[in-house]
Amino acid sequence: MATRTGRSQRRTEALSRERIVEAAVELLDAVGEDGLTFRTLTERLATGPGAIYWHVANKGELLGAATDAVVAAALAVEPAGSPDAPQDGIRAVALGLFDAIEEHPWLATQLATQISHSPWGPVAPRLFETIGRQVRALGVPEAGWFTATSALMHYILGAAGQNAANTMSARTLGPDTDRAQFLDAVSTAWEQLDPDDYPFTRAVADQVRGHDDREQFLAGIDLVLAGVTALHLTNG
């Protein structure tokens, strides 16, 4: 009668750091950040906590490794050949991260945590390098590399995370609630804010309705890119 969730049989393959990280990612995707515990993880891997601690120092390191693995996979898809428009390279990287965060909603919070708890860890440099190469390909002079790359990085992480939050919220409202319905709900909620305290937000509420979020995300990228071009007189 005891319900066997997943693969709780005796394990055949040997344990390894990669298998543990892989299981952690699957668990994060399936049950979210709060659902990943050493209990659920050991059950899934059919082992004990001590075995996991043999391969991984602690939970923080495990979350870091899971984050890095997903980010690395997302950035690896980046097309090698540069397209005719140099800005398409950045758009591709940005959309890759956008999709990854949407597919793994826990990624948004984890990226913020990783970057702010250990900026010297593997995640931050990986992101910085990938985005930075596209900035360089854009023809930005070296003096502007740091500013342009970090502006793009912060916008991408923030906007994609915000968007994943919207997707999650829509799911919470009901499994059949789609994005349009949710944006409609947000729009309506904003329109009901106090007119004295929130005149701007109320005024903008209507714009949110009917917006395609991917398009909106790219509009933000283009805005930052316009700033890069304006300040650095890139490819005239």
Q: Which is nearer to DNA, 46 or 69 (CB)?
A: 46
Residues found near a second copy in the complex (CB under 8 A): 108-109, 112-113, 115-117, 119-120, 125, 128-129, 132-133, 136, 142-143, 145-151, 153-155, 157-159, 161-162, 164-166, 168-169, 186, 189-190, 193, 197-201, 203-204, 207-208, 211, 216, 219-220, 222-231
Helix residue ranges per DSSP H, the chain: 17-35, 38-45, 49-55, 59-76, 87-103, 106-117, 123-137, 145-173, 179-191, 199-208, 213-232
Whether 29 and 66 have beta carbons less than 8 Å apart is answered as: no
51 binds, among a second copy, DNA, none (CB under 5 to 8 A by kind): DNA
Region near DNA per CB under 7 A, out of 22-30, 53-61, 65-73, 151-159 = 53-61
Identify the residue among 8, 55, 177, 229 touching DNA (CB under 7 A). 55
CB nearer to DNA: pick between 8 and 177: 8
Helix (H, G, I), strand (E, B) or coil at 58: coil
Got the DSSP string for 145-184? HHHHHHHHHHHHHHHHHHHHHHHHHHHHH-TT--HHHHHH
Q: From CA 132, how far away is CA 154, in angstroms rounded? A: 12
Q: Which does 39 bind (CB under 5 to 8 A by kind): DNA, a second copy, none?
A: DNA
177 binds, among a second copy, DNA, none (CB under 5 to 8 A by kind): none
CB nearer DNA, residue 51 or residue 92? 51
Q: How far is CA 37 from CA 16, 41, 192, 214, in A?
A: 18, 6, 40, 33
Among the listed residues 23, 25, 36, 108, the single contact to DNA using CB under 7 A:
36
